[in-house]
Amino acid sequence: MLLRRLESCRRSCRPAARRRRLADAVCRCCHALHHAGSAGWGADRTRPVVRGPAFRGFRSGVPGGWLRFRAAGPVVPGATGGRLMLMAFALVCAGWWSVAAAMPRHARPMLGRNLSPTWAAPVLRGLGAGLILSSLIRVAGLYGWAIGPVAWLGLCGAGAMMLVPLLTWRPAWAALPVASLLILGCHLSWIGPP
């Protein structure tokens, strides 16, 4: 039954479709299984094997050994990924803090009454935008541009959710976790791999 199905698959492949990589690989697999000999899996035939989430392959009867198919594996950062993410999170928190400090509503409780927000507001807005964009570059460098912006949006939301309760409860204390995160993130990102 299996050999009939494979033979019909092999015959149905047109020459134009064989030029494509995927159709060509399927035709080679069908051809290898068809000419392998016995009707089923036996002691002389090896079964398909799966090696981890990023590699799938099976031994074929074609000279050359392995036919390999690569599946998209999970994107996992290296050993320093947690340190770099902590630094990116610290940059996002510092950026949101400086954007909030640029607002007239939060400027007096956060910065004190002596500092006028008229001249400091554009500087704080520019600093906040620069910090948030630098965290985007750091996360995109860690995960790549396909997944990095999605992870960065999650970091932006987490940083804002950390600062919102502090700004409503004790606005003057909002700088303490931001400063401690920046110091810890800078220290851990400059140490290097463990």
Summarize pLDDT for 169-194 with one digit per residue, the tens.
Answer: 877 777 777 777 777 766 666 655 54
| Per-residue pLDDT, 5 | 57
Q: Taking Cα atoms as reference points, which of 77, 76, 87, 92 lies closest to residue 158?
A: 92
Q: What is the pLDDT of residue 111?
A: 72
CB of 89 closer than 8 Å to CB of 159: yes
pLDDT at 153: 95
The pLDDT of residue 188: 66
**Comparing 6 with 89, which gets the higher pLDDT?**
89
pLDDT class of 154 with cuts at 50, 70, 90: very high
Q: What is the pTM assigned to this prediction?
A: 0.54
Answer for the pair 110, 94: CB distance below 8 angstroms, yes or no.
no
The residue that leads in pLDDT, 59 or 3, is 3
Contacts of 154 (CB under 8 A, 6+ apart): none
Residue 42 has pLDDT above 50, yes or no: no
Starting at the earlier edge strand, list the strands of the sheet with 49-51. Answer: 49-51, 55-59, 66-70
pLDDT single digits (tens) 105-143: 777 777 776 666 677 788 888 999 999 999 999 899 888
